[in-house]
């Protein structure tokens, strides 16, 4: 990578679940290398959790100390800089360059994440969100507000975690007309379906997906297809310039797919996959999320576990398919890093 001049980014991280911790692990294990390699010195100055305390320290918070405190004490309350500040108070009082929004997604209201983002932009902070609510519901407005504030607004991690699906479509395929995007965009349901093919019960597979940090705080969002519908809405807005409310996405989840249905498909040489699709036709842009039986020889049928895959159909290049991790703390923590480095390249 071309070295950009050294620059320090003072970061407030709101939300310290699987993704926030994944990002902290990346900083702990790779922060020095990233600074040397790219010139971006990433420094946490504030971390807010929902129920395990918050910390603010303008001098910087060591990510190893943060993760150790969580492991040993179960919360952050004994750390120096521990504070009872709410996320809004942290954003209002700490001097920072960048806000990371990593709280639990709410696809109905987009809150509290959207308010956190707007509060940060009002203080001229750059923003990276891995929270899907603001991107699914308010993408155009937030991009506009960030541009007016002269700030970067990154949302790469909202679709396919750190696998660069949005950047591929928006930057590398710029100049093509994108006619359709179609694929597997929810890691939890793909993990469950894959485990069920191996004979595991639905409930046990879901519990495992939760343990591995793939599932939403409320996994109904995954299994009923809401998460995939939110991602379809994000892709419609980002890639096809057409805002669709997640409720406008025709949606069926996988909770009706029984072990017997999985076995029947296998006996017929097929596999169930939860397929999200966004497409443009003469009447406009449409989106759907549907469990679909695919022949085992179909490229998407071979995508197992929490892996995601997206086929982008373009006018000039035909079909381009991207396969990669779609959920999990490190995979989504990497999306945050990738957005910050995109910002850094613009400096």
- Closest contact distance (angstroms) between CB of 2 and ligand HSE is 30
Choice between 56 and 221, CB closer to ligand HSE = 221
Cβ-proximal residue to ligand HSE, closest one: 188
Is 273 annotated as catalytic?
no
Smallest separation, CB 160 to ligand HSE (Å): 8
**Is the Cβ of residue 83 or residue 308 nearer to ligand HSE in the bound state?**
308
Residue closer to ligand HSE (CB basis): 9 or 214: 214
Q: How far is the CB of 132 from ligand HSE (least distance, A)?
A: 6
Catalytic residue among 231, 251, 280, 286: 231
Residue 283: Cβ-neighbour burial (10 angstroms; 0-12, 13-18, 19+): exposed
Given a contact cutoff of 8 angstroms between Cβ atoms, the answer to whether 95 and 77 are in contact is no
Give the interface with ligand HSE as residue ranges (CB under 6 A).
161, 186-188, 214-216, 222, 227, 326-327
Q: Which residues of 44-57 are buried (b: 16+ CB within 10 A; e: fewer)?
A: bbbbbbeebbbbbb
Cβ pair 154, 127 in contact under 8 A:
yes
ω into 108 cis (within 30 of 0): no
Whether residue 214 contacts residue 17, with contact meaning beta carbons closer than 8 Å, is answered with: no
Nearer to ligand HSE, 156 or 216 (CB): 216
Q: Where are the beta strands (DSSP E) in the chain?
A: 7-14, 40-48, 54-56, 82-83, 98-101, 126-129, 153-154, 178-184, 250-251, 270-281, 284-295, 307-314, 318-325
**Residue 217: CB minimum distance to ligand HSE, A:** 9
Distance CA 233, CA 346 (A): 27
The nearest distance, CB 215 to ligand HSE, in angstroms, is 5
Closer residue to ligand HSE (CB): 76 or 209? 209
Residues classed as catalytic: 231
């Amino acid at each position: 990578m071309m070295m950009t001049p050294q620059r320090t980014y003072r970061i407030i991280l709101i939300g310290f679940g699987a993704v926030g911790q994944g990002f902290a692990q990346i900083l702990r294990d790779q922060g020095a290398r990233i600074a040397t390699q790219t010139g971006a010195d990433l420094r946490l100055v504030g971390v807010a959790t929902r129920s395990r305390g918050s910390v603010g320290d303008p001098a910087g918070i060591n990510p190893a100390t943060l993760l150790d405190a969580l492991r040993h004490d179960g919360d952050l309350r004994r750390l120096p800089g521990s504070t009872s500040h709410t996320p809004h108070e942290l954003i209002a009082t700490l001097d920072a360059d960048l806000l990371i929004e990593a709280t639990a997604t709410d696809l109905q209201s987009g809150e509290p994440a959207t308010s956190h983002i707007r509060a940060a932009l009002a203080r001229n902070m750059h923003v990276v969100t891995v929270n899907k609510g603001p991107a699914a519901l308010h993408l155009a407005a937030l991009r506009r507000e960030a541009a007016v504030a002269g700030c970067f607004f990154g949302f790469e991690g909202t679709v396919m975690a750190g696998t660069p699906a949005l950047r591929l479509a928006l930057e590398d395929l710029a100049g093509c007309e994108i006619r359709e995007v179609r694929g597997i965009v929810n890691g939890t349901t793909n993990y469950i379906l894959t485990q069920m093919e191996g004979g595991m019960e639905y409930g046990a597979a879901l519990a495992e997906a939760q343990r591995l940090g793939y599932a939403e705080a409320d996994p109904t969002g995954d299994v009923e297809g809401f998460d995939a519908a939110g991602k379809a809405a994000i892709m419609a807005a980002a890639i096809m310039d057409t805002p669709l409310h997640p409720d406008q996405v025709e949606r069926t989840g996988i909770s009706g797919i029984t072990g017997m249905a999985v076995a029947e498909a296998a006996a017929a040489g097929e596999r169930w996959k939860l397929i999200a699709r966004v497409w443009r036709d003469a009447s406009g842009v449409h989106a759907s999320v549907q469990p679909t039986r695919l022949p085992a020889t179909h490229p998407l049928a071979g995508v197992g576990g929490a892996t995601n895959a997206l086929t982008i159909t373009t006018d000039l290049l035909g079909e381009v398919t991207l396969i990669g991790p779609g959920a999990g703390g490190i995979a989504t923590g990497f999306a945050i890093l990738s957005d910050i480095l995109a910002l850094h390249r613009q400096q």
